[in-house]
Amino acid sequence: MRCTSEDCSGTYEPREGVHTARRGDQIVVINHVPAEVCTVCGDVLLMPETVRRLEVLRHTTAPPARTVPLYEFTDAVSASASRAADASDRRVRVATAIIPS
Ligand SMILES: [Zn+2]
């Protein structure tokens, strides 16, 4: 299927990814989520059933399959090795999920 983003020539292909959500003051990470991902711009589409299942997992009280390390971004500031890269304000597009705090 052709990408639905304006001016994008990519097509969606099936992939699996990691979904991150908030549950109160907790962060919930769900692995192996099936998605359609644009090969050019990275736009992600989910099937309605996938969204329903993510909501079930976001609210479940069952213990997680695994736990993951959680780092605070601000702890990495003093570890920056490349000042040259910091001098540029050119934005970089990366595959990531930023969810509101
Ligand atoms: Zn696209």
Q: How far is the CA of 16 from the centre of ligand 1 (A)?
A: 17
Distance 74 CA to ligand 1 centre (A): 31
- Give me ligand 1 centre to Cα 36, in Å: 11
Q: What is the model's pLDDT at position 47? A: 96
Q: Is residue 68 part of a domain?
A: no
Structure confidence at residue 92 as a pLDDT band (50, 70, 90): confident
What tens digit of pLDDT does each residue of 14-41 get?
999 999 998 888 899 999 999 999 999 9
Q: Rounded to two decimals, what is the model's pTM?
A: 0.76
In this structure, what CATH number is given to the domain that contains residue 48?
3.10.20.860
- Examine residue 46 and state whether it is found in any structural domain, yes or no: yes
Specify if 72 maps to a domain.
no
Is 75 inside any structural domain?
A: no
What's the gap in Å between 41 CA and the centre of ligand 1? 4
* 21 located within any domain: yes
Instruction: Flag the least confident range among 1-10, 14-23, 74-83.
Output: 74-83
**How many angstroms does the Cα of residue 63 sit away from the middle of ligand 1?**
36
Is position 67 within any domain?
no
pLDDT of residue 74: 87
Confirm whether 80 is domain-assigned. no
Q: Is the pLDDT of residue 98 over 80?
A: no
Cα pseudo-dihedral 96, 91, 5, 50, rounded to 10: 10
| CB contact at 8 A, 20 and 28 | yes
Strands of the sheet with 26-38, listed across from one edge: 12-23, 26-38, 44-45
What distance in angstroms lies between residue 95's CA and the mean position of ligand 1's atoms? Answer: 13
Domain range holding 46?
1-60
Q: Is residue 53 part of a domain?
A: yes
Number of domains in the chain: 1
